[in-house]
Amino acid sequence: MSVSDAQYEEWLADIDSVRVLLAELDYSGGTAYVATAPFISTPNDSDPNRVYDDILEEAVDATTRIDGLVSFGEVGLINDGELNPWIDRAWNGWPIRLYLGDPTWSRDDFRLWARGVNGGISTAQIGRLAFRMLDTSAGLDVEIDTGDLPNENGPIPLALGSVYNAPAFLLQPAPYEFKASFLPVLELTPKDNGNPIPHTDNLSNGSFEIPSGLVGTLTVDIEEQNNTPALVAQWVANEYGVVIDTIDLPDYTVGLYYKNRVSGRKILDDLCEGIGAYWYINRVGEMVIRQQTVPTEASAVILGDDIAQDQVRLTETQSPWRDYSLQYKQNHNTLTTVADTVNDTEAERLKRQWQEDRQRQSVDDYPLAESVTRPSVLQSQADAATEVARVLSIRSVRRDIWSIETFTPQVNEGDAVTVEVDLMAGKVGRVISIARSPTRGETSLEVWI
């Protein structure tokens, strides 16, 4: 590329830059190439002499939030009648790619601005044809096919990491073989009414055999290799073919167990909920997953000249937390009867669904301070206590969300920023939402402080 990344960023920051948005819309029979202005790639481009028809409307906005609620505007096309045959094409589910650059550049100097999935035709009328553009996280809504247990007993369970006291399901009698997990595992500990019993492992199959009948309820502790937040996130990404941009998560021990079919989105949501983390698929289709922290040093500064006149406002205040209870080490099959050989502490644990770590703090200045309880996939008391103390320290003071209308600042979701206006001077915040309009040079930010 003749335009370096630094030059591209400088060009992007210039509100007087002339911008062209190229769109490539795949469908079952090929790809449609359109643009907001006439454009043809050069003979020396990797895709030479490619003609982009100038029928793309100006605004294809994108909003990316760290809570995963990513949205795109429509991909609207001007239709003078020539696009009428397009109505019958199969667009739904095929990729959409948007590239942004200067009309004088070669095609290879354009940069990928957004990647999404075609949600199908939203408008077909005289003069206009438009498509819904979905973010690529839609693919994570597809449930994982783990296969089925015999005798119509439902799907094979999915276990990730360290799982406590899960049910086991009969595969065959004589010898009695039981299935614990869809994935290969590192260790299985079958128990009869909580008492560990002799068994023969088939770890690669996630199953085990026992030599004789049972006295009570059969359950099993499972150790599977993806036992940290980062390993679980990477497993989900691999399962769905998602590229990772950033994984920044603590090294806690976790366990997730699903008896019914589950989607990648559900797994990531469950993972993040109890460790104060967030995930999203960014506008170019890559996964970002981080633990929420309070920024102390800014990586970017937004100056007053970067902000539209009077377009800074406080939109939400969040009360401190008076106390926080974090549930951990879920018992996936609580027992009413426990073997006499099990010690009292473990017997009591086998009868309860959760263990819990609860901590309090003084927030007397805030009579409406919250009491919060959340489940987690954490497995140890030490990790739970660490996480409770960490979150309470974040929630020991009021937190605010500010909305800012700016001109193409070079910041990304999750960045730590300072905003040099009187209302926010001296404060460091984190960008939690960005709404971009590539051709108009406008950006709306939400900053959490």
Q: Judging by DSSP bridges, how do beta strands 321-328 and 370-375 pair with one another?
A: parallel
How far apart are the C-alpha atoms of 295 and 328, rounded to whole Å? 27
Contact 328, 378 (CB under 8 A): yes
Contact 328, 376 (CB under 8 A): yes
Contact 316, 447 (CB under 8 A): no
Looking at residue 58, its pLDDT comes to: 67
Nearest to 249 by CA among 236, 262, 232: 232
Looking at residue 59, its pLDDT comes to: 62
- Tell me the CA end-to-end span of the chain in Å, nearest whole number: 39
Looking at residue 283, its pLDDT comes to: 83
Looking at residue 437, its pLDDT comes to: 78
At what angle are helices 264-273 and 229-240 packed, to 10 degrees?
A: 170
Count the neighbouring beta carbons within 10 Å of the beta carbon of residue 54: 13
Q: Residue 442 corresponds to which amino acid?
A: E
What would the DSSP string read from start to end of 220-251? EEEE-S--SHHHHHHHHHHHHTPEEEEEE---
What is the three-class DSSP state of 286? strand
Q: Give residue limits of the domains in the chain.
A: 5-139, 142-292+322-397, 300-318+399-448
Q: Is the pLDDT of residue 99 over 80?
A: yes
300-318+399-448 is classed in which CATH architecture? Answer: Beta Barrel (2.40)
How far apart are the C-alpha atoms of 139 and 141, rounded to whole Å? 5
Calculate mean pLDDT across residues 73-87. Answer: 93
Q: Is the pLDDT of residue 35 over 80?
A: yes
State the pLDDT confidence band at 104, using cuts at 50, 70 and 90.
very high
Looking at residue 409, its pLDDT comes to: 66
CA 54 to chain CA mean position, Å: 35
Summarised one tens digit per residue, pLDDT across range 337-387 is: 999 999 999 999 999 999 999 999 999 899 989 999 999 999 999 999 999
* Model pTM score: 0.88
Q: Residue 373 corresponds to which amino acid?
A: T
State the pLDDT confidence band at 114, using cuts at 50, 70 and 90.
confident
Calculate mean pLDDT across residues 9-23. Answer: 86
Quick one: DSSP state of residue 345?
H
